[in-house]
């Protein structure tokens, strides 16, 4: 029996551990707002904590968990902190945490339908409902849960290649007589370039189209580039609009890009990894008007739907394309469901063994409902408006235009308020205070700005006031230091 004890532990000990686990989680959720938002970045210290561990001497389970909990408290960005104004990383829903614990315990295998019919049907149900939220015909639409937006974008490129070049699945890119090209804006997410590379297309196959002053893809430049590429012997096959850019929350002109895609017979993908959630709110739906004309959509539920990472979605209105792209016969895969009207997930996904990603979305939605999510999203949009308003009052200038709560700003009081030195110094000042986290980025690849995004449903107006106060103090310090020298 002692081998079982190694894996399962004794019942009494297990019960104590579960209780501790629940206490640790509850304590984290309750007290995270008292932690430093950003950790001290001390690699040597962390490595020295680990250096004595070589797994030769088993330790007490409670001690083991304590060690890890302490490490997580001390050394991570607390994205659940209401003053984390970051990169779309959510404070997880309570139901999402419950779901992930259940999934770990039941460990359903989502490669085949027959191993986990309940889980697979839940995911299929969710895919149909999300497809319909985005305006697809839910009877025909298909999709797959992914680890995140990167895998969803990867899936989009592969399905587009398979759709446009029937010989691709068998012969690969070397079976094509022309070099394929795809189009994104210069503000699009870098994962599209990375996945183009891992599809064997190479980064040069990704043509980045410039953006206008509102940071939206220039549609006339897109049309021109396609014509030029065709004349030069390339084979344009995909255009991706971004619905909510990572930098600035800007939505590309979806309808106009859909027109170009239709005219040019390109696969039309919309990367709505973060911004896609806005369709849930009736009065904001029109911000993504035209998305229903897309061939595929990337949507990350681990962003604005606040489920624990990683939970992305790839959706498509082409019912057969995932099968065409990924299906392959493997004699060892279970055939228990043969003859039933069901499809195995592994023949429609880049993944084989797969975690039950959909449960955290399902349980969160079951409890909050679409209405609950609408309330949350509306609140965050309002907090974004409040942040813009308070920044302007204090002499900061907003440089991006969007309804979504991603705010890019500079200082308007002095000319150096737009300099890289100022921008980086302000961000560092805020982060090192431990009270809040914001970041910097470059718009149009060269305009330095500060960036604060309402990513957390726990962020309230008091947190906005606090952030603006920290920013004002940091700015004052910067100017008094630079005027002394």
Binding track, positions 110-149, relative to ligand PLP; x by CB under 6 A: --------------------------------------xx
CB 49 within 8 A of CB 402: no
Given 183, 274, 326, 437, the residue binding ligand PLP (CB under 6 A):
274
Non-local (6+) Cβ contacts of 469 within 8 A are none
- Residue 76, CA distances (Å) to 46, 64, 315 in order: 11, 18, 32
Tell which one of 100, 123, 187, 271 touches ligand PLP (CB under 6 A).
271
Q: Does 380 bind ligand PLP (CB under 6 A)?
A: no
The Cα 163–Cα 34 span in angstroms is 52
Name which of 19 and 401 has its Cβ closer to ligand PLP: 401
With DSSP H G I counted as helix, E B as strand and the rest as coil, what are the percentages for the chain, rounded to 5? 50, 15, 35
- Nearest residue (CB) to ligand PLP, 193 versus 363: 193
Q: Compute the least distance from the CB of residue 164 to ligand PLP, in Å.
A: 22
273 or 438, CB closer to ligand PLP?
A: 273
Q: 3-class DSSP state for residue 58?
A: coil
Binding mask 229-258 for ligand PLP (x = CB under 6 A): -------------x---x------------
Start-end of H helices in 273-357: 321-326
Of 164, 166, 312, 170, nearest in space to 239 by CA: 164
Distance CA 250, CA 314 (A): 21
Nearest approach, Cβ of 19 to ligand PLP (angstroms)? Answer: 33
Which of these segments, 91-99, 266-274, 313-321, 467-475, binds ligand PLP (CB under 6 A)?
Answer: 266-274
**Residue 436: burial class (beta carbons within 10 Å; 0-12, 13-18, 19+):** buried
CB of 244 closer than 8 Å to CB of 404: yes
Of 124 and 247, CB closest to ligand PLP: 247
191 binds ligand PLP (CB under 6 A): yes
Q: How far is the CB of 55 from ligand PLP (least distance, A)?
A: 31
C-beta of 189 vs 317, nearer to ligand PLP = 189
The DSSP result for 423-445, as a single string, is HHHHHHHHHHHTS-B-EEEEETT
**Residue 89 CB, nearest distance to ligand PLP (Å)?**
9
Which residues contact ligand PLP by CB under 6 A?
Answer: 88, 148-150, 153, 189, 191, 242, 246, 271, 273-274, 300, 312
């Amino acid at each position: 029996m002692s081998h079982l004890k190694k894996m399962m532990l004794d019942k009494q000990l297990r019960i104590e551990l579960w209780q501790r686990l629940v206490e640790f989680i509850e304590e984290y959720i309750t007290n995270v707002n008292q932690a430093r938002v950003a950790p001290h970045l001390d690699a040597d210290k962390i490595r020295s904590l680990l250096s004595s561990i070589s797994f030769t001497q088993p330790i007490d389970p409670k001690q083991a968990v304590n060690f890890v909990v302490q490490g997580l408290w001390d050394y991570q960005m607390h994205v659940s902190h209401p003053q984390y104004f970051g990169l779309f990383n959510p404070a997880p829903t309570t139901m999402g945490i419950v779901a992930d614990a259940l999934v770990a315990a039941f460990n359903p295998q989502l490669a085949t339908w027959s191993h986990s019919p309940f889980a697979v049907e839940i995911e299929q149900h969710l895919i149909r409902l999300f497809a319909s939220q985005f305006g697809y015909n839910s009877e025909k639409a298909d999709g797959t849960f992914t680890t995140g937006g990167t895998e969803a974008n990867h899936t989009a490129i592969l399905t587009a290649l398979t759709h446009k070049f029937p010989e691709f699945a068998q012969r690969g890119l070397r079976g094509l007589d022309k070099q394929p090209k795809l189009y994104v804006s210069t503000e699009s997410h870098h994962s599209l370039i990375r996945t183009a590379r891992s599809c064997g297309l190479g980064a040069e196959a990704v043509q980045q189209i410039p953006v206008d002053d509102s940071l939206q893809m220039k549609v006339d430049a897109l049309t021109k580039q396609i014509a030029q590429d065709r004349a030069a012997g390339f084979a344009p096959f995909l255009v991706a609009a971004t619905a909510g850019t990572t930098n600035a929350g800007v939505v590309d002109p979806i309808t106009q890009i859909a027109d170009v895609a239709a005219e040019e017979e390109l696969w039309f993908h919309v990367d709505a990894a973060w911004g896609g959630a806005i369709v849930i709110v009736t009065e904001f739906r029109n911000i993504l008007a035209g998305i229903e004309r897309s061939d595929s959509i990337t949507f990350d539920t681990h962003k604005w739907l606040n489920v624990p990472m990683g939970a992305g979605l790839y959706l498509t209105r082409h019912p057969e394309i995932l099968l065409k792209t990924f299906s392959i016969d493997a004699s060892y895969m279970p055939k228990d469901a043969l003859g039933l009207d069901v499809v195995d997930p592994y023949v429609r996904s880049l993944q084989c063994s797969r975690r039950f990603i959909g449960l955290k979305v399902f349980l969160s939605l079951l409890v909050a409902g679409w209405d609950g999510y609408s309330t949350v999203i509306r609140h965050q949009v309002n907090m974004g408006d409040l942040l813009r308003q308070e920044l302007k009052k204090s002499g900061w200038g907003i440089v991006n235009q969007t309804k979504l709560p991603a705010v890019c700003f500079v200082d308007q009081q002095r000319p150096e308020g737009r300099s890289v030195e100022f921008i980086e110094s302000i961000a560092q000042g805020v982060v090192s205070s431990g009270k809040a986290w914001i970041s910097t980025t470059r718009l149009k690849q060269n305009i330095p700005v500060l960036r604060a995004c309402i990513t957390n449903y726990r962020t309230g107006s008091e947190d906005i006031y606090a952030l603006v106060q920290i920013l004002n103090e940091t700015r004052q310090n910067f100017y008094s230091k630079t005027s002394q020298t």
